Amino acid sequence: MFRYEKDSINGVELLKFDALSEKKNIVHCFTTRAGGVSGGGCESLNMSFKREENRKNVSENIKRVAEAAGVDFDSVTMVPQVHGGKVRVVTEEDRGKGVSRESFDEGYDAMVTNIKGVTLATIHGDCIPVFLYDEKACCIGMIHSGWRSTHARISRNAVVAMVENYGSKPEDIIAVIGPGICQNCFEASDDVYEAFAEEFGKEFTDDLSVCRPDLTRKGKWYISLPGIVYKTLIAAGVLPGNIIRSGVCTCCEENRDKYFSHRREHGKTGAMSGFIMLK
């Protein structure tokens, strides 16, 4: 279903999904911790400018990932992520913003484009990355889905943006739910539970696979963000057979050496990135 590829030059290790790798006209990857130049809690392949003061380190890390993935550094485009539900339709004029050029004026948590040679990149510390690809309409999407964005149905919003802007049909879209925090690691309080319960109703409250109470502590819940993203994609018309779930948790102790985790490290750490580009 997925594999890790290690670059022989800098040791950059990237996660790639078979469902996307078999397509000839896209490039994609999800980064790990290996192969960068950052130090301290961000060691070594930190992809977030917000996580460390030395922008040169992050730029060098992005350059290394771009080289290993086979995309131009100047094509890498990042939006300011604000944990909301807005989607940016990325044009040729946006190419490189947020990395090698000035940033966007507003914040978004998803991007879509049909422009070849523009690399959509999102930042993740535990939040769920979602890759979208429609081969027929020749367009892509990249989503950052933390709990607030998941609550705002950001994945649905990105699918709608592909439909409205590029003529996509939801049943033609392939969606990959990448590494992020799992249900066992995402412990939430009553306020988060109540927000999801109000938005999703019994589909959330009565499904133990996406929400279960902590039987030892009142007011604590274990919530599956990947599970809710999956339900959101289904409701948006994406076919179950076209949704791939990695099942990889960035927060589990067993993955400490492979992935950064905002929750596990109490915010004192780096972040990964999801890349996708049309060739």
The pLDDT tens digits of the residues spanning 224-268 come to 999 999 999 999 999 999 999 999 999 999 999 999 999 999 999
* Per-residue pLDDT at 277: 98
Cis peptide before 44 (omega within 30 of 0): yes
- What CATH number does residue 271 fall under? 3.60.140.10
Does the reported pTM lie above 0.75? yes
Q: 84, 109 in Cβ contact below 8 A?
A: yes
The residue behind tokens 């739910």 is: 177
d(CA 96, CA 77): 5
Q: Is 193 part of any domain? A: no
Structure tokens at 42: 């961000």
- 234 within some domain: no
Please answer whether residues 190 and 197 qualify as being in contact, where contact means their C-beta atoms are separated by less than 8 angstroms: no
Decide if 146 contacts 84 (C-beta within 8 A): no
Residue 65 is classified by DSSP as H
Number of domains in the chain: 1
In a domain, 163, yes or no: yes
Q: Exposed/middle/buried for 105, CB within 10 Å: 0-12, 13-18, 19+?
A: exposed
Residue 224 located in a structural domain: no
Residue 164 lies in a domain: yes
Which residues of the chain, if any, have pLDDT below 50?
Answer: none
Give dist(CA 140, CA 156) in Å, integer.
Answer: 14
One-character DSSP codes across 191-217: HHHHHHHHHHTHHHHT-TTTEEE-TTS
Output the pLDDT for position 6: 97
Instruction: Report the pLDDT value the prediction gives residue 261, as an integer from 0 to 100.
Output: 98
The one-letter amino acid at 156: R
Decide if 177 is inside a domain: yes
* Alpha-carbon dihedral 228, 234, 235, 238, rounded to 10 degrees: 140
* Residue 10: predicted pLDDT: 96
Torsion of CA 68, 13, 146, 167, to 10 degrees: 40
Q: Give the pLDDT score at 221.
A: 98
Tokens of 135: 């081969």
- Nearest-angstrom CA–CA distance, 118 and 136: 18
Helix axis angle, 154-166 relative to 225-235, nearest 10°?
A: 30
Task: Return the pLDDT at 82.
Answer: 98
Name the token pair of 4. 């890790």
Q: Per the domain annotation, does 212 fall within a domain?
A: no
Domain boundaries, position 261: 2-182+243-278
Rg (CA), the chain: 18
pLDDT of residue 107: 98
Do 144 and 78 contact (CB within 8 A), yes or no? Answer: no
> How far is 22 from 67, CA to CA, in rounded Å?
20
Strand partners, 153: none
Q: Are 156 and 236 in contact (CB under 8 A)?
A: yes
Whether 196 maps to a domain, the answer reads no
